[in-house]
Amino acid sequence: MAEHELGLSRGDRWLIWVGFPLVGLAVGWVLPVLARWLLSLPWVPFGGPLRLVDALGAGFGRVALVGAGLLLALVFAFVAIHETLRVTVADSGLRLRLGDTDRSVPRGEVSAVFVDGRHLVVLDGESKQVVRERLEGAGGPRVAAAFRAHGYPWLEHDPYAKLFRRWVPDLPDLPGAVNAVLAARAVALKNKSATDATELRDEVQKLGYTVRDDGTTQHWRPLVRS
């Protein structure tokens, strides 16, 4: 069967590549007009930069501003697409690409697939979260249809949702090593370090537990072998 690709649709990518540059062009064109209007007010902060933008509002300066707006918009468009998860669903397994990172999950390792909020979650036979990533369109029917078409065990909800409990520091129900990793992970979440948070989640799973997040609040559960 033909592979299914999930993430940004072709229409979404087209909209980004066309929409962002159009906005950039518009901003570059309107900026001198806005700067001139602001300078006409009795008082305005950043007068120096505004006067510079106003001075560039004619001739080659206007062209330079429009060009800069277009260039910045193209950079933002590239980053937006490059940093969005793309999942290829095939009979043999899953391929995930996020930024410069590519990884694969063999079909034999998958025991459950479901959506948790805006995240795609894939569990293995020990209920480890081998995938928990934000996926564009996660709540839409296209995601479920793609996995079902290739015979994956698609579920409508997390089968272990009721096992999760909120973590607080030095929780007596958890081993000290797990509490220590979760404490370090709490710092990573507070600092918005996604890479560290993911790596520390993997460390928690090596210790026999897994974790999911609600903002910066962590919820844990023991692993369950299916």
Residues 143-191: tens digit of each pLDDT: 999 999 999 999 999 999 999 999 999 999 999 999 999 999 999 999 9
Which ranges constitute the DSSP H helices of 40-169? 47-55, 60-82, 141-149
Q: Are 210 and 204 in contact, with CB atoms under 8 Å apart?
A: yes
Q: Model-level pTM?
A: 0.80
Which ranges constitute the DSSP H helices of 9-59? 10-39, 47-55
DSSP class of residue 137 equals: T
Cα separation, 183 vs 177, whole angstroms: 10
Lowest mean pLDDT among 5-9, 90-94, 95-99, 190-194: 5-9
88-to-24, 79, 98 alpha-carbon distances in Å? 32, 20, 12
Q: Are 4 and 149 in contact, with CB atoms under 8 Å apart?
A: yes
Return the CATH class of domain 90-157: alpha beta
What is the DSSP pairing of strand 129-134 with strand 119-123?
A: antiparallel
Residues 17-49: tens digit of each pLDDT: 999 999 999 988 888 878 778 777 777 676 677
**Domain positions in the chain:** 4-82, 90-157, 160-226
